[in-house]
Amino acid sequence: MTAGKPLDGKVAFVAGASRGIGASIAAALADAGASVAVAARSEAEGKVPGTIHSVADQINASGGRAIPVPCDVTSQESITAAVDQTVSEFGGIDILIANAGVLWMGPIEKTPLKRWQLCLDVNLTGVFLMTQAVIPHLRARGGGSLIAVTTTGVDMIDRGSNAYWVSKAAVERLYKGLASDLKVDNIAVNCLSPSRVVLTEGWASAGGGQKIPPEAIEPPETMGKAALLLAQQDASGITGTIQRSEILIPRADK
């Protein structure tokens, strides 16, 4: 008898999945058997490569099951429509990957208000709105897993402050508290960040031209492996934690 895959029968909603870390996580969850909603604003190619259609097509071509779902995490109406589309197509939602994000790492005194607000709107309020929208669907399935993608930068207080790190730190506080609130519903709630820098398309576009030494670079597939482990959790397993990918999952060369 052939053993099933770990996420057979599960449905994952991956926000911010048109490229980079989100695309890698979507592919990993699909490879593990989940039906995946590939959600993001990117419906057509723009300045930064990657669309929800190209990612979903690649998953389907590899034998997985995915649909492209347009979603702007700053719009409650857009999120509602995206969640409704996913539930209509797949019958429910078991896993949320809240990965949509924008990067701004300039010093506070040189940060325009619109950049500060955009980081809060996408990186923090977007996670709040997505999480709020999917909780009833996880509860209806008897449990599930909520995962917010954050950053090790929240711990680097010796490197000053910026809008990106502040918004991600707030998400970690939100999810640590939410784990306690949702334990009764059998829902695991965790944060996950890369241990090192993942050179995504977004980083290349907004990283300010910073040169990253090879030893500080982490392949995006590591985040996929780590997210897969957390996606299999419910409240009886790993919950209420802030995980770093290479601590959760050993490096491939070990």
**Half-sphere exposure (Cβ direction) of 93: Cα atoms closer than 13 Å:** 29
Residue of 101, 196, 186, 106 whose CA lies nearest to 143: 186
Residue of 161, 162, 189 whose CA lies nearest to 175: 189
Bridge partners (DSSP) of residue 189 are 146
Alpha carbon 240 to its chain centroid, in Å, reads 16
Residue of 87, 83, 89 whose CA lies nearest to 130: 83
- Annotated active-site residue in 104, 164, 165, 175: 164
Q: Is 98 exposed, middle or buried (0-12, 13-18, 19+ CB in 10 A)?
A: buried
Go through 58-78 and write b for each residue having 16 or more CB atoms within 10 A of its CB, e for each that does not: bbeeeebebbbbebbbbeeeb
Contact between 227 and 147 under an 8 Å Cβ cutoff? The reply is yes
Q: Is 175 a catalytic residue?
A: no
- Active-site annotation, residues: 164
